[in-house]
Amino acid sequence: MSRSSTYHFIKKRWTNKHKDVSRRLWEKHKDALVWIGEKVPAKEKLASGAIGALMISNTLPGTTAVVPNIAGEFSKPKEVEIHQNETPTFVSTLSASLPDKMRPLSSEEENSVAKILFDEFKIAVSASLDGKRLNRSYGYIGAEQHLARFPGDSMVTHLGAKAVENKLFYSSGMAPGLGAWRYFASSKNELTQKDIEREKWYIAVPTFNAPGYLENTREYSKWFKYRKMLVVNPKTGQAVVVDIADAGPAEWTGKHLGGSPEVMAYLGLQHGMRKGAVLYFFIDDPDDKIPLGPV
């Protein structure tokens, strides 16, 4: 391996490591970090930075932290040792199993990824199920709008009395048309919690591009309806159990699937271009025991 290749390999591994540690730090100490940001005066934040450093040292084995003392002055140890954790993290392992450029995964790559996902989440997943599959299992997801769950559904009925205040989800708006299988319920009175969850955590996939779909449209349409999948952001490890509730997007959009506003938010893709690379695998859950939503 050349020096350049070695450099880029190490850089990629440490970048992934940094993202993974940052994610776990935020998940574990979110309340404390938010409190520090909101409550601690600016002149004291330097000292409070010790908390973050200590948290990182506890999160990342083999790291000796350099932290400020009470006066805000740095006390430098005689030796600062930083050892790479030799146990591969979920994110780095997943990243190493994916191609550098976006393309459909090979059968071998799909099997490898499925095993990594099972080891992490203990959910049986696969790129194909019951002899059916989509045209790919790794692609770019884009933001979708809210779907009408029953005739007369609106953003207010979606988000409640404080709908307008919920800018993130309110701004997504309602889709001008219905989902691939029309309404989730015949009326508002018939709307169940399962219907609410199905719309909340839905994805749109190009079922029409699935191998065999055109030859068996009715069978495939029935099979794909509300079929569960696991969607994973390989850069962060964020994962969510979703269901297929719409068809699309078109190939010319440059996106391979779409996600509800809630799905995109949990995957960390709700800002900017609202687009990103994700893995999406079928979940084998014949008894409907695995709930929709964040894993």
pLDDT at 164: 73
CB 29 within 8 A of CB 55: yes
Helices 3-39 and 45-59 meet at what angle, rounded to 10? 130
pTM of the model: 0.71
Q: 234-245, pLDDT tens digit by residue? A: 999 999 999 999
Q: What is the pLDDT of residues 6-47, one digit of tens each?
A: 445 555 566 666 566 666 655 565 565 555 555 545 444 444
SS3 206: coil
pLDDT recorded at residue 18: 59
- pLDDT beneath 50, residues of the chain: 6-7, 40, 42-51, 53-87
State which H helix or E strand residue 213 sits in. none
pLDDT of residue 168: 75
How far apart CA 290 and CA 200 sit, in angstroms, is 16
pLDDT digits over 38-76, tens only?
554 544 444 444 445 444 444 444 444 333 333 334 334
Question: Residue 29: its pLDDT value, please?
Answer: 58
Alpha carbons 82 and 153: distance in angstroms, whole number: 55
Q: Which residue ranges does the chain devote to CATH 2.40.40.10? A: 90-294
| Whole-angstrom distance, CA of residue 85 vs CA of residue 234 | 19
What fold does the segment set 90-294 form as a domain? Answer: Barwin-like endoglucanases (2.40.40)
Looking at the chain, the whole-number percentage of residues with pLDDT higher than 90 is 61
pLDDT at 159: 83
- DSSP secondary structure code for residue 254 in this structure: T
Q: Cβ neighbours of residue 260 under 8 Å, at least 6 residues apart?
A: 144, 146, 147, 199, 200, 201, 202, 203, 242
